[in-house]
Amino acid sequence: MKLIIERLSPQQYIVKLLLILAVFIGCYLVVAWSSYSPFDNSWSVANSYEYTINKAGFLGAWIIDLLFTFLGYSGNLIPFLMVFIPIYILLNGSENITKLKIALGGVGLILFLSGVSVILTIYFTTSYSDIEHYLSGGVLGSFLVSYFYTILGKFGLLFFSTIFIIIGFLLCSGISMINLLVRFYHWLIMKNDDLSIQEENETDLALKNDGNINKTTELEEIIFYNPKHLQQNEQKASDNLVDVNQFININGLRNKEQPKEQDLTTDINASVSVIPDIPDNLVQQKNIDLVPPAIDNIGDLDFSHNTTEEVLPKVRILPSQERELLNKSVSEVDNIQNIIDDIEEDNHLALEFAQLEEQRLQQMAKRAKEINAEDAFNRIVNESQDLMADTSIPTDEDKNKVVNYASYKDTLIHPALQQKAVTNAKPTTPMPSLDLLEDRPVEAHTITKEEILETSQRIEQQLRNFNVKANVRDVLVGPVVTRYELELQPGVKASKVTNIDTDLSRALMFRSIRVAEVIPGKPYIGIETPNTHRQTVPLKDVLDSDEFRNANSLLTMALGKDISGKPVVVDLAKMPHLLVAGATGSGKSVGVNTMILSLLFRVKPEQVKFIMIDPKVVELSIYNDIPHLLTEVVTDMKKAANALRWCVDEMERRYQLLSALRVRNIEGFNDKIDEYNALGMPIPNPVWKPGDTMDTLPPALEKLSYIVVIVDEFADLMMVAGKQVEELIARLAQKARAIGIHLILATQRPSVDVITGLIKANIPSRIAFTVASKIDSRTILDQAGAEALLGRGDMLYSGQGSSELIRVHGAFMSDDEVAKIADDWRARGKPDYIDNILESTEDDTDENLGFGESSDEVDDLFDQVVEFVTSTGTTSTSAVQRRFRVGFNRAARIMEQLEEQGIVSEMQNGKREILSRTYTDY
């Protein structure tokens, strides 16, 4: 049993002692009250007996008589109040008692008793001259009534008495009316929760005991309990020293979604990973006919737990499979030879089958000849041969070569090295189906209500040790973390809790905790603690949600699930650019893939195009040749800078088009094109010049597609061409929103030389995965928090410059799933690459790009540009570009030279200021 030792000051000791004394006096009065007789020797009556009837003696009789005389019937309350009020105070923290509280309590009691006495006098006294009134409202009631009756009347007396009773009660109890109602509401909810959990437990236990349960129920709800653990939990609950805070509202503890039947074959893979050893007595054989898991899964077993006690109490598992799997781990590895023998026997059977088939075909050919249907027969045979090409049966001669050559088919390239192992048939559905993603089972929660209540108490206790008084109000059990929502005592700053987060996580023995200072819509702060067993969030679950399906925007992307397990869906068009940063291995690539796949499930190539930049080569190359690409995945960083430059040029071109059509954005532009096409009057391209294309007349305008530029490792790009890239990105980020170009920049180096002030100022939406330090977190989000994340897709999202952070558990998908979707799109069409995206323009040769260039050489146009800048007051690189008809890079380089010479300031928030208008000074 755990003891909580509190240190008390001498004053607190005295208060406690007085309260205990009051309880004893109260008990004495209760005895006196129970044996009170109006004929006893007492203050108001004197009888002829020598002895006292009252069991509490003369004193007891005397006090009770006094109470009755002065307070009437309400005197009955006093002995009981004397017992219960001190007990209540003792249980709820006598250290909170102050003189003011005592004074208010006293006043409250007087008001309460006065109100009650008046009401009793009015309703229970037949006549004011009657002696009875001593027994109804007492002297107090009769005095108040006789004095105020003429002033207030009966109604007035009743009205004020009721108000006095309410005010008196509130003052005595020290609670606010609103608080009272809120607590009552919480109590009601808790009760419902208790009932449903009890029902659930009963169902589960019934299932466990009932051998004749029907199959569907069995498939949906097989939950095994470790009896020892249950016992421990019961013990724990009864051992709780501090009273369980009955107003804690726990949400999300139960899994709302039950696994589907088809999930059950894979269910076992997830379940066994936490079960090192299940005692035989827990294993119940059920007659479920399911495919046994592949032998590879044995490798997934997690043997890090040493005892079954550590195994969490509720585990969703299929017993027959689990036993099979465990047996296999030992026996099948040894019996590989047997398996090979089996395969050989299978091949033998296959050969026999082939021979029979051949005979059958010969007979059919003969029959076809007889009825002159040779053509039809040949066609059928050819089709079926095509179908069987992949599964042709080896002959005896080939049998020995199977291992070496069978899978090469018609090519000399090893299948592992083939870019596209299979050429898929063109899919029939208009968009890729979600069936391409794996069905991953919903994993059961392993945290119990008792654990939650115990942790709540530990959190409150630890906070109290740090002089923070707070009470846990709500608890939210999510897929990866549990959030305890605490109400801080008025006047306590949330930052006080944030400052002690490390000490708190050590004291509470959690790997890390995160303090959410603001919970939108609630007056609480949140303490997020990691769950012992984290659930994976499957991408399919998030994409298959109403939130994703019903989103209107074309550029809607799913991120994962929030703390309560609700899908989080964001709109890239509104962001309008996104910065993703996190330490290596934190889940960035999976996160970026989630975003790309969300788009690939929604958009057609003509609607959205991608430019993918991937210095790591392996991350995005899987998307090569999908029809959405504007150019092949860029891995050379010099070319990547050209791609960004192309985007800037495209942006300028689009702005010209928008202004020619007098529309404000890409949506307006596309609507206008649709409108005129529908009228049969396609709009000729207004910015076309002869020679731009082979046409002799301006070609008709087509709808513009959105362009999403994804950079997987932004730091590499910055290293190769820092200044240029920074400026290009700043220009795109500032202006590209209206014309539909959006950037997603990911980096694993969240330092200020990569995520520069200029980039941050222009990219308001950020995602931070786990990082090493608070400083890194501040670099990304402008606030701490990301250092307390748990890795593997755990992220904080801050949208459109908002300081409010949403914790999201990223969706997960395997590389195979990504490949399947990319293959699906490849089978639908070929990309239409634009040739010059990666090429540098004439004046943007390597030298001019700034790679290896000497900054000492002043550009030929330098003087003219200075004159232009100082005379017009413009410092925009694009203005220089237009005025002098040079490429962006050259113009940017000249501006840098102007900066070096102190003529213009350095770029701040995408702008430069003119520092000197008299160039002759230099």
Ligand X SMILES: Nc1ncnc2c1ncn2[C@@H]1O[C@H](COP(=O)(O)OP(=O)(O)OP(=O)(O)O)[C@@H](O)[C@H]1O
**Binding region for ATP:** 582-589
Q: In the bound complex, what is the minimum distance in angstroms from residue 812's beta carbon to ligand X?
A: 4
Please pick, from the candidates 590, 721, 822, 886, the single residue that binds ligand X as defined by CB under 6 A.
590
Taking the alpha carbons of 79, 84, 90, 92 in that order, is the dihedral positive or negative? Answer: negative
Q: In the bound complex, what is the minimum distance in angstroms from residue 567's beta carbon to ligand X?
A: 13
Alpha-helical runs (H) found in 661-769:
666-678, 714-735, 757-762
- Rounded Cα distance, 787 and 420, in Å: 40
CB 897, CB 862: distance < 8 Å? yes
Q: In the bound complex, what is the minimum distance in angstroms from residue 729's beta carbon to ligand X?
A: 20
Contacts of 178 (CB under 8 A, 6+ apart): none
Q: In the bound complex, what is the minimum distance in angstroms from residue 226's beta carbon to ligand X?
A: 26
Sheet holding 481-488, edge to edge: 249-251, 470-477, 481-488, 525-530, 514-516
* Identity of the residue, 494 or 599, whose beta carbon is nearer to ligand X in the bound complex: 599
Q: In the bound complex, what is the minimum distance in angstroms from residue 200's beta carbon to ligand X?
A: 28
Q: Give the range of 33-41, 569-577, 810-818, 883-891 binding ligand X by CB under 6 A.
A: 810-818
* Identity of the residue, 259 or 582, whose beta carbon is nearer to ligand X in the bound complex: 582
- Rounded Cα distance, 313 and 751, in Å: 44
Contacts of 49 (CB under 8 A, 6+ apart): 41
**Residue type for 630, please?**
L
Please pick, from the candidates 52, 482, 536, 756, the single residue that binds ligand X as defined by CB under 6 A.
536
**Residue numbers belonging to the annotated binding site:** 582-589
Give the tokens for residue 30.
């209760």
Under the binding rule (CB under 6 A), the answer on residue 810 touching ligand X is: yes
Site for ligand X in 754-793 (CB under 6 A): 792-793
Under the binding rule (CB under 6 A), the answer on residue 586 touching ligand X is: yes
Under the binding rule (CB under 6 A), the answer on residue 747 touching ligand X is: no
- Rounded Cα distance, 915 and 42, in Å: 101
CB 270, CB 479: distance < 8 Å? no
Under rule CB under 6 A, how many of the chain's residues touch ligand X? Answer: 15
Residue environment code for 607-630, b if the CB has 16+ CB neighbours within 10 A, otherwise e: bbbbbbbbbeeebbebbbbbbbbb
Contact string (CB under 6 A) for ligand X, positions 683-712, x = contact: ------------------------------
Q: In the bound complex, what is the minimum distance in angstroms from residue 709's beta carbon to ligand X?
A: 18
* Identity of the residue, 712 or 727, whose beta carbon is nearer to ligand X in the bound complex: 712
CA distances to 508, 542, 629, 718, 820 from 478, in Å: 19, 15, 37, 38, 30
Q: In the bound complex, what is the minimum distance in angstroms from residue 191's beta carbon to ligand X?
A: 37
Name the residue with tokens 């006080």: 496
Please pick, from the candidates 473, 561, 588, 731, the single residue that binds ligand X as defined by CB under 6 A.
588
- The conformational region for residue 93 under phi > 0 = left, psi -120 to 50 = alpha, else beta, is left
Residue environment code for 454-472, b if the CB has 16+ CB neighbours within 10 A, otherwise e: bbbbebbebbeeeebbbbb
Under the binding rule (CB under 6 A), the answer on residue 535 touching ligand X is: no
- Rounded Cα distance, 43 and 62, in Å: 6
Q: Give the range of 28-36, 301-309, 809-817, 843-851 binding ligand X by CB under 6 A.
A: 809-817
CA distances to 127, 149, 150, 746 from 153, in Å: 16, 5, 6, 79
Q: In the bound complex, what is the minimum distance in angstroms from residue 552's beta carbon to ligand X?
A: 26
Please pick, from the candidates 28, 601, 797, 812, the single residue that binds ligand X as defined by CB under 6 A.
812
Where is 809: in which H helix or E strand? Answer: strand 806-812
Please pick, from the candidates 74, 556, 748, 762, the single residue that binds ligand X as defined by CB under 6 A.
748
Backbone angles phi, psi at 209, to 5 degrees: -85, -25
Beta bridge partners of 824: none
Determine the residue with CB nearest ligand X. 793
Please pick, from the candidates 38, 227, 585, 699, the single residue that binds ligand X as defined by CB under 6 A.
585
In DSSP notation, 28-68 reads: HHHHHHHT--TTSS-SS---S-SS--STTHHHHHHHHHHHH
Q: Is 518 strand, coil or helix?
A: coil
* Identity of the residue, 141 or 810, whose beta carbon is nearer to ligand X in the bound complex: 810
Q: In the bound complex, what is the minimum distance in angstroms from residue 260's beta carbon to ligand X?
A: 21
Under the binding rule (CB under 6 A), the answer on residue 589 touching ligand X is: yes
Site for ligand X in 151-190 (CB under 6 A): none
Widest distance between CA atoms in the chain: 138
Of the candidates 440, 737, 417, the residue with the CA atom closest to the CA atom of residue 571: 737
* Identity of the residue, 328 or 792, whose beta carbon is nearer to ligand X in the bound complex: 792
- Rounded Cα distance, 668 and 704, in Å: 11
Q: Is 4 strand, coil or helix?
A: coil
Site for ligand X in 555-584 (CB under 6 A): 582, 584
Q: In the bound complex, what is the minimum distance in angstroms from residue 615's beta carbon to ligand X?
A: 11
Under the binding rule (CB under 6 A), the answer on residue 587 touching ligand X is: yes
* Identity of the residue, 613 or 811, whose beta carbon is nearer to ligand X in the bound complex: 811
Q: In the bound complex, what is the minimum distance in angstroms from residue 177's beta carbon to ligand X?
A: 47
Q: Give the range of 89-97, 122-130, 171-179, 805-813 binding ligand X by CB under 6 A.
A: 805-813
Beta bridge partners of 581: 747, 768
* Identity of the residue, 539 or 866, whose beta carbon is nearer to ligand X in the bound complex: 539
Q: In the bound complex, what is the minimum distance in angstroms from residue 747's beta carbon to ligand X?
A: 9
Q: In the bound complex, what is the minimum distance in angstroms from residue 471's beta carbon to ligand X?
A: 33
* Identity of the residue, 711 or 811, whose beta carbon is nearer to ligand X in the bound complex: 811
- Footprint of ligand X on this chain (CB under 6 A)? 536, 582, 584-590, 748, 792-793, 810-812
